[in-house]
Homo-oligomer: A and B are copies of this chain.
Amino acid sequence: MIDKTVKNAEAAVADVQDGMTIMFGGFGLCGIPENCINALVKKGVKNLTCISNNAGVDDFGIGLMLHQRQVKKMISSYVGENAEFERQLLSGELEVELIPQGTLATRCLAAGYGMPAIFTPAGVGTEVAEGKEIRNFNGKDYLMEMAFDADFAIVKAWKGDTAGNLVFRSTSRNFNPIMAMAGKITIAEVEELVEPGVLNPDHIHTPGIYVHRIFQGERYEKRIEQRTVRTQ
């Protein structure tokens, strides 16, 4: 197998440059690459275009990068719960492109599967369709949406092996495997890094061929955004 390990988050993101486009896995604060986000904040790269379903909260996740004004543009489906985000957006410091969540996901899949474009009915007849090609198949209209083209994809998995194979846990899977497939360079941080052969080949969600760098993260906070419980 090919060894994809790097020492830590700092080493993994060392060559991320100002102005690059980066995908971040996660849904809300669930399954986000905490270590790499912190390393990017520390590194201070700027003018980033971030493709991520959400934009974190004020003091966690991509919110930390927004706070440092490292983000030029967010491509997301939902960006609530973030006051600094709102301030930057309203002041014109931050550009935001809102796209339907399924379109976001499928544009990742398209990139990972080498398909230049996909068709989806999401957004037909809405402002999302503006300037896009509409095509009718079997009596239904679809928008043609283009595959993403990201310099880096940064994802968080539960377990991974040194060959880059990844396994996700529960709904922290979300966008992580499809973004892992979509990056020109894909960085995976994992809670537990194991030797090749430990993971069952049938259980691997992301084959190592899609992963260029992997490391075991540390001090995962795994913050809960909406703690909701039942009483009995």
Interface residues of A (CB under 8 A from B): 106, 113-121, 137-138, 140, 142, 146, 167-170, 173, 201-203
Q: Check A117–B116 contact: CB distance below 8 A.
A: no
CB-CB under 8 A from A117, the residues of chain B are: 119, 137
Q: Whole-angstrom distance from the CB of A129 to the nearest CB of chain B?
A: 16
Could you say how many copies of this chain the assembly holds? 2
Q: Check B116–A106 contact: CB distance below 8 A.
A: no
24 A-B interface contacts by CB (under 8 A): A106-B113, A106-B115, A114-B120, A114-B121, A115-B118, A115-B119, A115-B120, A116-B119, A116-B137, A116-B138, A116-B140, A116-B142, A117-B119, A117-B137, A118-B118, A137-B146, A167-B202, A168-B202, A169-B202, A170-B201, A170-B202, A173-B202, A202-B203, A203-B203
The distance in angstroms between the C-alpha atoms of A201 and B119, with both chains bound, is 29
CB-CB under 8 A from A120, the residues of chain B are: 114-115
CB-CB under 8 A from A202, the residues of chain B are: 167-170, 173, 203
CB-CB under 8 A from A116, the residues of chain B are: 119, 137-138, 140, 142
Q: Whole-angstrom distance from the CB of A128 to the nearest CB of chain B?
A: 17
A200 and chain B: residue at smallest CB distance: B203
Q: Whole-angstrom distance from the CB of A175 to the nearest CB of chain B?
A: 15
The distance in angstroms between the C-alpha atoms of A64 and B117, with both chains bound, is 40
The distance in angstroms between the C-alpha atoms of A203 and B202, with both chains bound, is 8
A170 and chain B: residue at smallest CB distance: B202
Those 6 A-B pairs whose CB atoms lie nearest each other, nearest first: A116-B137, A203-B203, A116-B119, A115-B119, A115-B118, A117-B119
The distance in angstroms between the C-alpha atoms of A200 and B134, with both chains bound, is 41
CB-CB under 8 A from A203, the residues of chain B are: 202-203
Extra contacts besides A115-B119, A137-B146, A170-B201 (12): CB < 8 Å: A106-B113, A114-B121, A116-B137, A116-B138, A116-B142, A117-B137, A167-B202, A168-B202, A169-B202, A170-B202, A173-B202, A202-B203
The distance in angstroms between the C-alpha atoms of A194 and B30, with both chains bound, is 30
Q: Whole-angstrom distance from the CB of A110 to the nearest CB of chain B?
A: 9
